[in-house]
Amino acid sequence: MMKRVYLYLLSFLILFHTGCSKQQLDKTNTDPTKSPAENYDPNDLLSTAQFKFSNKGYYQLLYQSTMMQLLASTYFYYNNGDKYVNAGSFTDYQGRIFDEGYAEASTIREMQRLAREKDPAGYSNLINIGDIMFVLILQRITDTYGDVPYSQAAKAREGIKYPIYDKQEDIYNSMLTDLDNAINGLDPAKTKPTADLFYKGDIVKWKKFGYSLMLKVAMRLTKITPDKARPWVEKAAAGTFSDISDNALVMTDAANLDGQNGTSLALRTVSDYREVRWSKTLIDELKTSNDPRLGVIAEVSQSGLANNINENLAGNTDPAVQLGLPNGYDLLGGAYDIHRAPGYPGETGTGADAAPLGNYSRPRTSVYLNLGGPNFIMTYAETELLLAEAKVRGWNVPGSAASHYANGLRGALQAMTQMNQLATIPDGVISDYVLKHPLDETSQAKSLEMINTQYWVTTGTNFNFIESWLNWKRSGYPVLIPVNYPGNVTNATIPRRLIYLSTEILTNTVNYNAAVARLPGGDLLTSRVWWDR
């Protein structure tokens, strides 16, 4: 199926830029909307959009992974997220979620247009899945930037080249309504999609995905309009994921350069492999609770620089030796050099073979640098943790907060086997850990902190760093201590949004300016989107 998909990708001149090199990241998409309808099966555009949405490579590594203190790095181009410094030309990547997201949204709308022209009744499920995908894509865009095009998005065929930026509040109202309509339109008795990378056309699972997405969309509103969030959460609650078999993920293709896992490929770059490590914040959290994930996600490389950069040498996975790299340090010899960090463990190797980061834990190569590994979209663990929070807030959802939390924790540990078989945690170990770590219900604050810290760990260890950041903005947990590195552009605060795509300033000036005027502080990393006030 994947070979067929890539033939269509070439036909549409859509170039994947999967994060494997800086040059590939700078490639641009070609809009497929000029392709004649009779030549193509609209199903194949679904898989195109799904793959592109999932495979974000360097974009989430340079910013969200280190901003969230899940990863840390001393290498200069990671300064963007690790130290909030605009390093080199990489600030352009802040606009990539906008740029690529609208290319993905356009692909979905083109898919729906072709389906309606060919056979609207026969393609009914595909069309409704398209509306769910559109919400999935647009939520990431609006949560990253704030006000963005929604009502006029992907309407170039209708002559709208410069769409207005809808207010985020209006976007959220539309997304929830659009989801509801799409879910209701799905029918397992009708024709299934044939090129679906999420669920292979399983409409029952798509209904669960739709309700799980509705839950996530509604929960984003807990800070700004909890009264609006509640009825939508309660509506979604009974239809969400049942277990990890419902997890939405996209498998990649190690044998095809354009189909490889972008994040894994990026981390195989020599500089990244040498200087990207798990953050001290994450490793300390896992150690504090004796979390069994520590023994499967992390390794300390063999001694010396040559061994440190040899991807074929497995490291030491013993939980006792794992040590996270603190964020905010470099290898420049000054006051912020890692050698001066409190508790620095020393180098491994000597002389020219010295490895300054040799004693720090890196993502386990055999688990995370698999070029055919999965990209996680949304999981049972995430939905159960959100339901636990809803119950803590006193909302009318089935089950107890404690049971949803336990389900979320169990589901997160079980899902490690989906990341890689080598990361499988035995059932007995999972059950014992869940039993010994119940939800702290002594206060609402303690419960919320525990739930959302687990959400951060879960999405972080799944390498879904964008979602880690978005939920942290919403919940405030875990409580992260920002770094204060010279030259930072945020006054030593963790970024709350990314800046708009730079070309919008020139090509959609009026609408861009109107959106920026509504942002407190303007188009800055420190400004907050509507629901993050």
User: What phi, psi does 52 have (nearest 5°)?
Assistant: -65, -40
- Helix (H), strand (E), coil (C) string for 474-507: HHCCCCCCCCCCCCCCCCCCCCCCCCCCCHHHHH
CB 514 within 8 A of CB 155: no
CB 69 within 8 A of CB 63: no
- Tens of pLDDT, residue by residue over 193-220, are 999 999 999 999 999 999 999 999 999 9
How would DSSP label each residue in 400-422? Answer: -HHHHHHHHHHHHHHTHHHH-GG
Give the pLDDT score at 93. 86
Return averaged pLDDT per consecutive 10 residues of the chain, 533 residues in all: 38 36 37 58 97 92 97 95 86 89 98 97 98 98 98 95 97 98 98 97 98 98 98 98 98 94 95 97 98 98 97 97 98 98 98 98 97 97 98 98 98 98 98 98 98 98 98 98 97 97 94 98 97 96
- Tens of pLDDT, residue by residue over 162-196, are 999 999 999 999 999 999 999 999 999 999 999 99
- Tens of pLDDT, residue by residue over 459-510, are 999 999 999 999 999 999 999 999 999 999 999 999 999 999 989 999 999 9
Chain-centre distance for alpha carbon 460: 9
**Cβ neighbours of residue 105 under 8 Å, at least 6 residues apart?**
49, 134, 137, 138, 141, 153, 154
Domains of the chain: 1-13+23-56+90-201+491-533 (1.25.40.390), 277-368 (no CATH)
Around 524, how many Cα atoms within 13 Å sit in the side-chain half-sphere? 15
Question: Could you tell me the CA-to-CA distances from 268 to 55, 249, 290, 462 in Å, in that order?
Answer: 15, 22, 29, 17
Residue 361, helix vs strand vs coil:
strand
Question: Could you tell me the CA-to-CA distances from 184 to 53, 69, 81, 112, 452 in Å, in that order?
Answer: 24, 39, 40, 17, 30
- Tens of pLDDT, residue by residue over 296-310, are 999 999 999 999 999
- Give this prediction's pTM: 0.92
